[in-house]
Each structure stands twice: as C-alpha cells, then as structure tokens.
Structure 1
Amino acid sequence: MDADRRMTSLDSVPDDTTFLVTLRRLDTGEEREAVLVRVADGEVRGWLNYCRHLLDVRLDKGSGAPMRDGELVCANHGAYFEADSGYCTFGPCEGATLEAVDVTVDDGAVYLTDDDYAFVTTGSLDDGGPASSSNVEF
C-alpha cells in the first residue's frame, strides 16, 4: 500500500465511536472531513462526516460521533445510520445513505483507496471545524 494513503493504524479506530480524518477532493481541491468506523471482522468503513438531513451538520464534531447498537447517531437530529452501509434507519433523513469514502485495512493499518480523494491529516479541517451554530437542527 502507498504510504501517502495510510490514514491511521487499525488499533486507533475505536469500537464505540468514530475516528476523524480530513481529505481533499482531487477534482476541486476542496477539503472535507470523513469518519472511520469499525464494523464486523476488523473491517473499517469510511463516510463523509456530514448528516444527510442538513449537510452542514457534522456527525463527529471532533470528539467522536455517538454510536448505538452498531449505528452512527447524529446528535443534532437523532438520525441513525448503519455503520456498515451508511443507510439511515431512523430520523428526518430516513432512507438516505451517507456518502461513502473507500478505505481498506491492510497489515494493521487503514488506507484511503478512494480515487476521488487524497489524505490530508487526522482530525478536523481546523480547530473550529464546520460545526453548526446550533445544537439542535430540524
């Protein structure tokens, strides 16, 4: 695997919350946040860090997104997203799906394999991040 595409070690991705990374779209240069989530059998899924109800609301605001019974929870809207498929099972965007970012696990590390993105850094876009100005948005 290409060292430039290595995002983190598998051990760094927690079982009960998310791991935040910053990526850059290769076609526009726009930086976006993504979350890494552990799923069954030591696999990891990558999702853009934006709720499908209101796209400016981040799931992980810098300290890990809440998870419940294998689903990511949008703390702002109460929406639930399956960690393995990104499908919203409950909430105002029920039926929508998180935007996937292709990743793979190889030899104890998580690599970006999505040809649309380049890995920038672990963590948020900046210290403040593009967080919503309100704690509750519907």
Structure 2
Amino acid sequence: MERLTTAETVHEEGSWLFTIRDRHGEKEEVILVPCEDSAEENSSSGQSGADDSVEAWINRCTHEAQRFDTGQGVPMRDGQIICPRHGSLFDSCSGYCDNGEAADTTLPGVDITVHSDGTIFLTDDDATFAHEGGIDDDGGPDSTSHISL
C-alpha cells in the first residue's frame, strides 16, 4: 500500500496526477479527481466513505487515448471530466461517458483507498507506484492545478 496524497489536496487542486507501472511493467498515468457523489465523508471503520469522494482513473479518453491531464490539471465542469480533444464528458464518480465520441464507454479505474484521515493509498494489486506527476516528469513533483472551464 503506497501513500499518494490527501483527499483535501485533490479537492483543493481539482486533480492529482501520478504514474504507475502496470502488471507488465509498462508506465501508465493516473488521475485522482474529486467525486461529489459521496454521501458520507467519514466512517468509524478506519476507511472512509470518502472512498467515493476521490476516484482514480487512467489518464486518457477511451475514444482516442487523448490525455486529460497534460501537466496542467484535469479539465472538469460540474463533476465531469472533459476530454480536451472532442469534448466528451465522463462522470468523475463512475467514469462513464454518455455523450460525444466516447459515448457508452467507461474509463479504466485504478483501486485506491481513502482512510478516515483523508490520506489516499494506492491499493491496486495490478499497479505499482512509480512517481508523482506524468510519465515524462522524471519522478519529480508536478503541479496539477485545476483548470476551470
């Protein structure tokens, strides 16, 4: 279990970008985005209902592998991730797209756990944390400021 960041950081900045290695050793970018569907922010179980307050998705549109976050943050509006190429909208909580070129597809997810203190951990058995930021960022921190449209 690798500590990533906090739910507070994701909500304040609008997104958080990091790189993993998949089960084949290939690098893949992942975005953490706020999910506003969360009915319960805290839980007494040590893990939070805030599991839904942040979601992790592979950083690319299902239509043409366009990256959502290119180092400037994920473009979002009204709880939806916006594909910068064709404008398809993906629900930030479910990853589902019901419009545009990517209609009827769902973003591939990555398993995370949000603890009751808001700390986010990578818990996907098929992924190993490589570094914060994008694939080309050489492991150094990268700003993932939120872009509002």
Work out whether 1:117 is the aligned partner of 2:95. no
Task: Provide the aligned length of Structure 1 versus Structure 2.
Answer: 123
The Cα offsets for residues 83-102 of structure 1, whole Å up to 9 and x where unpaired, read as 00000122101010000111
Aligned residue in 2 for 1:34: 30
CA-atom RMSD, angstroms?
Answer: 1.7
Higher helix share: 2
Q: Which of the residues 92, 104, 108 maps onto 2:101?
A: 92
Cα distance, 1:17 vs structure 2: 3.0
Code of the residue aligned with 1:32 in structure 2: it is E
Aligned residue in 2 for 1:136: none
TM-score by length of 1: 0.82
Give, in whole Å, the separation in 2 of the partners of 1:63 and 1:104.
25
Code of the residue aligned with 1:44 in structure 2: it is V
Give, in whole Å, the separation in 2 of the partners of 1:60 and 1:79.
14
Structure 1's consecutive aligned runs of 4 or more residues displaced over 3 angstroms after TM superposition are none
Code of the residue aligned with 1:97 in structure 2: it is T
1:14 alignment partner, SS class = helix
Structure 2: give runs of 5+ residues left out of the alignment: 39-49, 139-149
Work out whether 1:103 is the aligned partner of 2:99. no
Superposition pairs of residues 77-88 of structure 1, within 5 angstroms: 77-88=86-97
Aligned residue in 1 for 2:59: 49
8 Å CA contact retained: 1:49, 1:60: yes
TM-score by length of 2: 0.77
8 Å CA contact retained: 1:16, 1:67: no
Structure 1: give runs of 5+ residues left out of the alignment: 129-138
Cα distance, 1:38 vs structure 2: 1.1
Identity %: 41
